[in-house]
Amino acid sequence: MPLPDTMYCAQQINMPPQLPDILKNFTKAAIRTQPKDLLLWSAAYFHALSEGKPLPVKDRLEINASHKTDTGLTPGLLKTLHKQLTPCETCSKEDLQKKWKGLCLPEDQLEDLLVLGSFDSDIDWMEFFALGCGALGGTLLSSLTFACEILTEDGEGGAARIPFTTFVKLYTYLAHLDDDMTKDHIDKFLSSLQAQVDKQSGMIQVSNFNIRRK
C-alpha cells in the first residue's frame, strides 16, 4: 500500500534546540582531529558524547604531523588517548582497543606495543603511554621529551614541566627496556636531576635533562 502524500511545513518539524551546537562542535572536532575514517571516528565521537566521556578529539590540528614510520600515531592522538584513559591507573585491553580503533589508528601498531610491553588483560596505562612516546621518539631522550610535552599543564611553548615522580616512572620503564642501560646508570642519572627538581618544587622540565643526555 503506497504511503500517502503528506506535506509538512516548517512549523510541523521539531528541531531540537541543541542540535545546531552539537553539529557545530562535531564539525570543529572533525577538522581538528582529521580522522582517516570519518564514519568510524564519528561513531566513537557520538558514543562518547552520549555517555558523557572524554571525546576522541585532538586539542588542535596537527600540521605536517610526523609519520616517519607510517604508524599514524601522533603526539596529538596519544594525548587524546591519555585523556580518554585516565585518571585510572589501569585500563582493560578491550577498552584500549576500542579507543584506539575509534581514533582510526592501525591495529598492527597496537599489537606490537602490547607485545613489547608484555601486557595482559589489565594494562598499566602509564607504561603503555611510555611505549607510545617511544614509538613517536625513537630514542630515550626524544621519547621523554614527547612525554613532557604531552603531559604538561604549562601553556604551549612553556617549560613543559611534569611531576618528577611521573618522569621517574616513565624513564625507569623505558630505560629497563634498553639492555645497555644498567641500574647504576639509571640511578646516577636520576640523582643528577634531583637538585634541579628540588628547586622547582618536585617538577622537572625538558631543559633539565636535555643537557645531561649521554
Maximum distance among all Cα pairs of the chain, rounded to whole angstroms: 83
Number of C-beta neighbours around residue 45 at 10 A: 21
Tell me the pLDDT tens digit for each residue of 121-178.
Answer: 999 999 999 999 999 988 999 999 999 999 999 988 888 999 999 999 999 999 999 8
144 in a structural domain: yes
Tell me the pLDDT tens digit for each residue of 61-108.
Answer: 997 654 444 558 999 999 999 999 988 899 999 999 999 999 999 999
Distances (CA, A) of 44 to 98, 112, 179, 181: 9, 23, 39, 40
**What is the DSSP-derived secondary structure letter of residue 158?**
S
10 pLDDT higher than 90 = no
209 pLDDT higher than 80 = no
> What is the C-alpha separation between 59 and 29, in angstroms, rounded?
9
12 in a structural domain: no
> What is the C-alpha separation between 211 and 195, in angstroms, rounded?
14
> What confidence tier does 214 reach under pLDDT thresholds 50, 70, 90?
very low
Residue type, 117: G
Average pLDDT score over the chain: 89
pLDDT at 4: 60
159 in a structural domain: yes
Total domains in the chain come to 1
Question: Which domain covers residue 177, as residue numbers?
Answer: 138-214
118 in a structural domain: no
111 in a structural domain: no
Q: Please state the separation of Cα 163 from the chain's center in Å.
A: 18
HSE-CB at 40 with a 13 A cutoff on CA atoms is: 13
Single out the residue of 32, 75, 78, 80 nearest to residue 56, CA to CA. Answer: 80
> What is the C-alpha separation between 128 and 150, in angstroms, rounded?
14
pLDDT at 213: 42
43 in a structural domain: no
72 in a structural domain: no
pLDDT at 67: 44
Q: Torsion angle of alpha carbons 141, 144, 146, 151, nearest 10°?
A: -160
206 in a structural domain: yes
